[in-house]
Amino acid sequence: MCGFCGFTGEIADREQYLREMTEKITHRGPDSDGYYLDECIAMGFRRLSIIDLETASQPLYNEDKSLVLMFNGEIYNYRDLREELVAAGHTFTTTGDGETLLHGYEQWGVELLSHLRGMFAFAIWNTADKSLFIARDFFGIKPMHYALLDDGRLVYGSEIKSILCHPDVVKAFNPAALDKYLSFQYSVPTETFFKGINCLPPAHYMIFKDGKVTVERYWDAQFAPEEDMTLDEAVDAIDAVFTDSVAAHRISDVEVGCFLSSGVDSSFVASYFGGQKAFTVGFDNGQHYNESNYAAELAKEVGIEHHVHLISDEEYWDSLPKVQYYLDQPLADPACVALYFVSKLAAEHVKVVLSGEGADELFGGYRIYHEPYSLRGYQRLPRCLRKLAAALVGVIPFDFKGKSFLIRGAKTLEERFIGNANMFSQKEKALLLKDIPATAPMEYTKEYYARCEGQDDVTRMQYLDINRWMVGDILLKADRMSMAHSLELRVPFLDKKVFEVAARIPVKHRIGGGTTKYAMRLAAMRHIPESAASKPKLGFPVPIRVWLRQEAYYNRVKEAFLSDAAKQYFNTEYLIKVLDEHYNGKRDNSRKIWTVYMFLVWYGVYFGE
């Protein structure tokens, strides 16, 4: 894996600044660096050598050097593309995958993107017409950020911390991003927590020319379920395409390992790794927070060399500033810290790992996807009655069984589901935020619901998660936590061909058989023990609920909640009330507390003294 950055236009000491920007992302590519400068642009690159270790250093050029490429990612069908391009008359000077992008762009222009299978962000500078073409992969596995300065110059990079090194980029906090973050627990693209710095969305490309940026979508993860598909046909199709995807994702000139939890997704991936290495982390905080024994059993079953690290409480808490630094933007997913440590463990042994991200979004793996079925009977009642029931139970100050059901059953799908994380309601945000308007999270999901209008509710939930939750949370932490340790993480579920199969599977084979990912679990069962294939979705268990009821960690968080930074943006009396309710066992507020605390940790890293 790699990282790149650059800027257009002239500045004093621009080579020095380019090197500073590039060095800021050395963790993305410690093996080598590369630079290109002309009178219009300065481009920098850091390389983590995976394929063609000797000759594929960047920048790369086409035959007449009219095109300059810098590329982060892997193109899994590059050998087939290379053959096609050689037959069309193109001459290659390397055996790596990056050069196919150059010649493919020469041959097909923007249509190059429809030919690709892989994960990528890349920039191609056209020296003839002085245009810059930047593209990001289909699902957003690889990151891409940019800032358009007031005078029409562009600054771009794989990570925001690199862009901040440019002398004309003003590091300024964007308070509007905080409102969204408090709903979703992550920064909502395309906006970032830094004023003027944008995120290029997945499946989009941008063209910069003459001081203007044009952004276009080139692909959309639309589902088209085939209702007559049988369960056996679905299982056969998943098995075949996933086997093909894992084979493609294992192409490398260095050793490839895999992450292994106790769940079906990583276990399915690991089943292809007999004789190689797998990596697991857990917590030394009771069996509920340590499933390494389950992973060890599967590793033994399929013949994997298994490595485990148990994260201590202090180790976890002490890592938080460093984790938030690498993330660039605040993320309140407690599992991202565990991913940081499993990446650290893996990087001690290999340079590439495969992981199970994306299976839940593509094949229907989250328990919340059952909700349209569980609410179906209740929602046959007139909505006015359901809204009355929700209003009556809503004023009851304590939680009880059935309360959430009655409240959520009174809402439309668009009102009740904003993704897999729903932290603070608009009402709660209004109580919490100081001088920042509290907006309804529906404002940031409605465009995606509109795009898949007419589909069943489960499919619409999946489509929203693919475009919001997966990009803002799952793939952000996967990229940043692995790259923090110069480790390339590959995700074979998030493959264009795998999605083509997933898109055809009817909802009855996704949410069926009393479980989630029904057809995918049956496909996995051909490769792993039934106990692993049928294991319920748990997520990665992190004991924050327990920690926040311990005096030491309660006091650590309370100190942050009373800090000057907290007082600047929050009603601290309300914050302490939420914290004390949890500490005293009155309510589980752990995720809300963690959301605010992670923001404050991040803010201290990037805007502290």
**Active site (catalytic) residues:** 2
Q: Quote the crossing angle between the two packed helices 475-483 and 335-347, to the nearest 10°.
A: 40
CB 538 within 8 A of CB 263: yes
Specify the pairing of strand 256-259 against strand 131-136.
unpaired
Residue type, 361: E
H or E, element range at 482 = helix 475-483
Q: How many helices (H) and strands (E) does the chain have?
A: 31, 17
Rounded distance between C-alpha atoms, residue 456 and residue 464, angstroms: 13
Geometric angle at alpha carbon 370, from 364 and 373, rounded to 5°: 125
User: Which among 67, 21, 28, 22 has a CA at the least distance from the CA of 48?
Assistant: 28
The C-alpha atoms of residue 362 and residue 365 are separated, in whole angstroms, by 8
Residues 6+ apart with CB under 8 A from 557: 548, 579, 593, 597
* DSSP for residue 474: I
Three-state SS for 377-423 is: CHHHCCHHHHHHHHHHHHCCCCCCCCHHHHHHHCCCHHHHCCCCCCC
Q: How far apart are CA 85 and CA 106, in angstroms?
A: 10
SS3 for 516? coil
User: Rounded to whole angstroms, how far apart are CA atoms 7 and 17?
Assistant: 10
* List of E strands, 141-252: 145-148, 154-157, 197-199, 204-209, 212-217
Query: What tokens were used for 50?
Result: 């995976």
443: part of which helix (H) or strand (E)?
none
Beta-carbon count within 10 A of 217 CB: 10
Instruction: Round to whole Å and give the CA distance between 347 and 205.
Output: 31
What is the C-alpha separation between 262 and 248, in angstroms, rounded?
A: 24
Contact 69, 46 (CB under 8 A): no
- Quick one: which of 310, 361, 362, 359 has its CA closest to 338? 310
Asked if residue 105 lies in contact with residue 67, where contact means CB atoms within 8 angstroms, the answer is: yes
Quote the CA–CA distance of 118 and 75 in Å, as a whole number. 4
Q: Is 69 helix (H, G, I), strand (E, B) or coil?
A: strand
SS3 label, residue 118: strand
The owner of tokens 């990446």 is 343
The Cα–Cα gap between 353 and 344 comes to 12
Is residue 236 within 8 A of residue 501, CB to CB? The reply is: no
